[in-house]
Chain A
Amino acid sequence: MSALLSLKGVRAGYGSIEVLHGLDLGVQAGEIVSIIGVNGSGKSTLLQAVSGVVPLRGGCIELEGERLDTTGVEGIVRRGVVQIPEGRQLFGPLTVEENLELGGYSRRGRRGRHAGGDGRARVGSGPAGAAARLDQVYALFPRLAERRRQAAATLSGGEQQMLALGRALMAEPRLLLLDEPSMGLAPLIVRDIFRVLRELNQQGLTLLLVEQDARTALNLAHRGLVMERGRIVLEDRAEVLLASPDVQSIYFGQGGGRHGRGTRPAGQGGGSA
Chain B
Amino acid sequence: MTFEQLLQYIFSGLTSGSIYALTALGFTLIYNATGLINFAQGELVMLGGLSAVGLYQAGLPLPVAFLGSLTIVLIVTVLFQQLAIRPLLSRGVLAQVIATVGASLALRTAAMMIFGREALPLPAFSGDTPIRIFGASLNPQTLWVVGSTLLIVLALQLFYRRTLTGKAVRACAVNPLAARLMGVSYSNVVLLSFAVSGAISAAAGVMITPISFMTYSSGALLGLKGFAAAALGGLGNPVGAVVGGVALGILEGLGVGLVSSGYKDAIAFVILLLVLFLRPQGIFGGKAVEQE
Interface residues, chain A, CB within 8 Å of chain B? Answer: 51, 53, 73-74, 77-78, 82-83, 85, 89-94, 98, 101-103, 105-106, 108, 153, 167, 171
> Does B177 reach chain A (CB closer than 8 Å)?
yes
* B residues in contact with A108, CB < 8 Å: 164
Give 1 or 0 for each of B155-196: 1 = CB within 8 Å of chain A CB. 000000000100110110011011111111100000000000
A-B contact count (CB 8 A): 68
Give the complex CA separation of A73 and B290 in angstroms: 26
Most buried by B among A78, A91, A93: A91
CA distance A153 to B287 in the complex (A): 12
A108–B291 Cα gap in the complex (Å)?
A: 26
| A73-B180, A92-B290 known; A102-B174 Cβ under 8 A | no
Query: From A72, which residue of chain B is reached at the shortest CB distance?
Result: B185
Given A89-B177, A91-B174, CB of A103 within 8 Å of CB of B182: yes
Contact call B181/A53, Cβ cutoff below 8 A: yes
Contact B171 A102 (CB under 8 A): yes
Q: Are A102 and B168 in contact (CB under 8 A)?
A: yes
Contacting residues of chain B (259-292) with chain A, CB-CB under 8 angstroms: 287, 290-291
Instruction: Determine if B175 and A98 form an interchain contact, defined as CB atoms under 8 angstroms apart.
Output: no
Residues in A neighbouring B177, C-beta threshold 8 A: 53, 85, 89
Q: Considering the complex, give the chain B residue whose CB is closest to the CB of A82.
A: B181
Query: Residue of A at shortest CB range from B178?
Result: A89
- Taking a contact as CB atoms under 8 Å apart, the answer to whether A90 and B178 are in contact is yes
Can you list 13 A-B pairs, Cβ within 8 angstroms, ordered by A? A51-B181, A73-B180, A83-B181, A85-B177, A85-B181, A91-B174, A91-B178, A93-B290, A102-B171, A105-B164, A106-B182, A106-B183, A171-B182
Chain B nearest CB, measured from A121 CB (Å): 23
In the assembled complex, the CB of A128 is this many whole angstroms from the nearest CB of chain B, namely 14
Closest 3 interchain pairs by CB?
A: A106-B183, A77-B183, A89-B178
| B-chain residues with CB within 8 Å of residue A89 when the two chains form the complex | 175, 177-178, 181
- CB distance B182 to A153 under 8 Å? no
The minimal Cβ–Cβ distance linking B235 to chain A, given in whole angstroms, is: 15
Interface contact A105-B168, CB-CB below 8 Å: yes
